[in-house]
């Protein structure tokens, strides 16, 4: 029986992967290197520190991970604030439906908490979730299950009764490793993502029907 619904954020609540790709490419140019969107796709769903640690090693960057993230995150927040953007179609309706069933909801995102809060504030959704967990607040980020396990703990729900909505291979791997069911959302702007581990795959948030999971 469904007792909690946990949302990834980037590419699920906000169509932000194009922002991430663009700013990360700009950040690499600032650091004196070129990187392509295709090269960045493998990092979708991962935390900033994990991504930049890997990229830093690959490109032998002189800057520390902390210095890179400081530049990148400031640029992302500035970009977000300047955009006219709405939540992904169907998200608000899904939240209303979950509330009608009295199902608690959470966000479990790899983004830093400051970026999560910026997104929720922009959309006026600060009070729509029972808890918010950043992947940078647990021991290991996605594809490890820690962020989803922590979200379930904060909601007070057994992992086996949780459903996750994800758009990335790393996120789905994390949800399944946590022992949760997972809906894979096909977001073309999230790049070439393997969603085959998901229990269900949708191309539109409006395809998600809760009734079958309530018994």
- Other CB atoms within a 10 A radius of the CB of residue 58 amount to 11
Question: What is the 3-state composition of the chain as percent helix, strand, coil, each rounded to the nearest 5?
Answer: 50, 15, 40
Tokens of 46: 């991962």
**89 a catalytic residue:** no
**139 a catalytic residue:** no
Query: Which is the catalytic residue, given 8, 15, 146, 167?
Result: 8
Question: Is the pTM here over 0.85, yes or no?
Answer: yes
Tokens of 81: 């604030």
- Which stretch of DSSP H or E encloses residue 56? helix 48-59
* pLDDT tens for the 215 residues of the chain, in order: 999 999 999 999 999 989 999 999 999 999 999 999 999 999 998 999 999 999 999 999 999 999 999 999 999 999 999 999 999 999 999 999 999 999 999 999 999 999 999 999 999 999 999 999 999 999 999 999 999 999 999 999 999 999 999 999 999 999 999 999 999 999 999 989 999 999 999 999 999 999 888 86
């Amino acid at each position: 029986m469904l007792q909690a619904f946990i949302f990834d954020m980037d590419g699920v609540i906000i169509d932000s992967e194009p922002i991430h790709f663009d700013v990360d490419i700009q950040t690499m140019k600032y650091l004196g290197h070129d990187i392509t969107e295709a090269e960045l796709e493998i990092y979708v769903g991962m935390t900033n520190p994990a991504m930049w640690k890997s990229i830093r090693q690959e490109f032998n960057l002189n800057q520390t991970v902390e210095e890179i993230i400081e530049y990148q995150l400031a640029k992302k927040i500035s970009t977000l604030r300047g955009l006219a953007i709405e939540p992904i179609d169907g998200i608000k309706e899904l939240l209303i439906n979950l509330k009608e069933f009295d199902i608690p909801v959470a966000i479990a995102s790899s983004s830093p908490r400051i970026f999560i809060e910026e997104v929720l504030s922009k959309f006026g959704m600060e009070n729509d979730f029972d808890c918010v967990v950043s992947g940078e607040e647990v021991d290991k980020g996605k594809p490890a299950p820690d962020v989803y396990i922590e979200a379930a703990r904060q909601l007070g729900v057994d992992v086996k009764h949780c459903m996750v909505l994800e758009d990335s291979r790393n996120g789905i791997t994390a949800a399944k490793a946590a022992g949760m069911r997972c809906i894979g959302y096909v977001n073309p702007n999230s790049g070439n993502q393997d969603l085959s581990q998901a229990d269900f795959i949708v191309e539109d948030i409006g395809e998600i029907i809760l009734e079958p999971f309530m018994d």
